[in-house]
Structure 1
Amino acid sequence: MGFEALKKIKAKHFAPIYLLLGTEGFLLKEVRDSIIDHALEVDEHDFNLSYYDMEEQPVDIAIEDAETLPFMGERRVVVLTNPFFLTGEKSKSKVEHNTDRFLSYIQQAAPYTILVIHAPYEKLDERKKIVKQLKSIAEVIEGQPLGERELMAWMKGRAEQNGAVLANDAAEELLKIAGVNLSVLAQEINKMAMYIGAAEQTINVETVKLLAAKSIEHTIFELIEKMVHRKIDEALAIFYELIRNNEEPIKLHALIATQFRMLYQVKDLSEQGYSQQKMAGILRVHPYRVKLAAQQSRYFSRKELMKMIEDLAEADYEMKSGKVDKRLAIEMLLLKLAPVK
Structure 2
Amino acid sequence: MVLEIWKQLKKNNVEPIYLLFGTESFLINETKQLLIQKVLSDEEIDFNLSTYDLEETPIEAAIEDAETLPFMGEKRLIILQNPVFLTSEKQKGKVEHNIGKLETYLAEPAPYSVVVFAAPYEKLDERKKITKELKRKAVVGEAKRLGETDLKAWIKDRTTSNGVQIQEDAINLMLTLTGTNLFMLASEVDKLSLYAGDSNRIDAEMVDKLVARSLEQNIFTLIEKVVQRKVDEALRIYYDLLKQNEEPIKILALLAGQFRLLYQVKELARKGYGQQQIAGALKAHPFRVKLAAGQARHFSDEELAKIMKMIAHADYQMKTGGMKKELLIEMFLFNLTRN
**TM-score (normalizing by structure 2):** 0.93
Q: Residues 319 and 201 from structure 1, CA distance in 2 versus in 1: closer, same or farther, beyond 3 angstroms?
A: same
Report the counterpart of residue 337 of structure 1 in structure 2.
336
Report the counterpart of residue 262 of structure 2 in structure 1.
263
Query: Which stretch shows the higher mean deviation, 145-154 or 225-234?
Result: 225-234
Letter of the 2:264 counterpart = Q
Q: Residues 4 and 290 from structure 1, CA distance in 2 versus in 1: closer, same or farther, beyond 3 angstroms?
A: closer
Displacement after TM superposition at 1:152 (Å)? 1.2
1:33-80: CA deviation from partner (whole Å, max 9, x where unpaired): 111112112222222111112233332322222222222222211101
Calculate the aligned-residue CA RMSD, in Å.
1.9
Q: Residues 242 and 129 from structure 1, CA distance in 2 versus in 1: closer, same or farther, beyond 3 angstroms?
A: same
Query: Which stretch shows the higher mean deviation, 234-243 or 284-293?
Result: 234-243
Report the counterpart of residue 177 of structure 2 in structure 1.
177
Q: Which runs of 5+ in 2 are unaligned?
A: none
Displacement after TM superposition at 1:186 (Å)? 2.1
Q: Residues 94 and 239 from structure 1, CA distance in 2 versus in 1: closer, same or farther, beyond 3 angstroms?
A: farther
- The count of aligned residue pairs is 339
Q: Distance in 1 between matches of 2:161 and 2:42?
A: 23
Q: Distance in 2 between matches of 1:36 and 1:224?
A: 44
Report the counterpart of residue 43 of structure 1 in structure 2.
43
Q: Distance in 2 between matches of 1:5 and 1:237?
A: 46
Q: Residues 26 and 2 from structure 1, CA distance in 2 versus in 1: closer, same or farther, beyond 3 angstroms?
A: closer
**Equivalent residues in 2 for 1:182-201, closer than 5 Å:** 182-198=182-198, 200-201=199-200
Does the Cα contact within 8 Å between 2:2 and 2:20 map onto a contact in 1?
A: no
Report the counterpart of residue 212 of structure 1 in structure 2.
211
Report the counterpart of residue 306 of structure 1 in structure 2.
305
Letter of the 1:305 counterpart = L
Report the counterpart of residue 251 of structure 2 in structure 1.
252
Report the counterpart of residue 284 of structure 2 in structure 1.
285
1:243-292: CA deviation from partner (whole Å, max 9, x where unpaired): 11211111111111111111111111111111111111111121110011
Letter of the 1:72 counterpart = M
Q: Residues 94 and 301 from structure 1, CA distance in 2 versus in 1: closer, same or farther, beyond 3 angstroms?
A: farther
**TM-score (normalizing by structure 1):** 0.92
Letter of the 2:96 counterpart = E
Report the counterpart of residue 141 of structure 2 in structure 1.
141
Q: Which runs of 5+ in 1 are unaligned?
A: none
Letter of the 1:244 counterpart = K
Secondary structure of residue in 1 paired with 2:122: coil
Q: Distance in 2 between matches of 1:256 and 1:91?
A: 40
1:162-188: CA deviation from partner (whole Å, max 9, x where unpaired): 222211111111111111112222222
Displacement after TM superposition at 1:7 (Å)? 4.7
Report the counterpart of residue 103 of structure 1 in structure 2.
103
**Equivalent residues in 2 for 1:59-70, closer than 5 Å:** 59-70=59-70
Report the counterpart of residue 314 of structure 2 in structure 1.
315
Letter of the 2:136 counterpart = S
Displacement after TM superposition at 1:299 (Å)? 1.0
Q: Residues 76 and 267 from structure 1, CA distance in 2 versus in 1: closer, same or farther, beyond 3 angstroms?
A: same
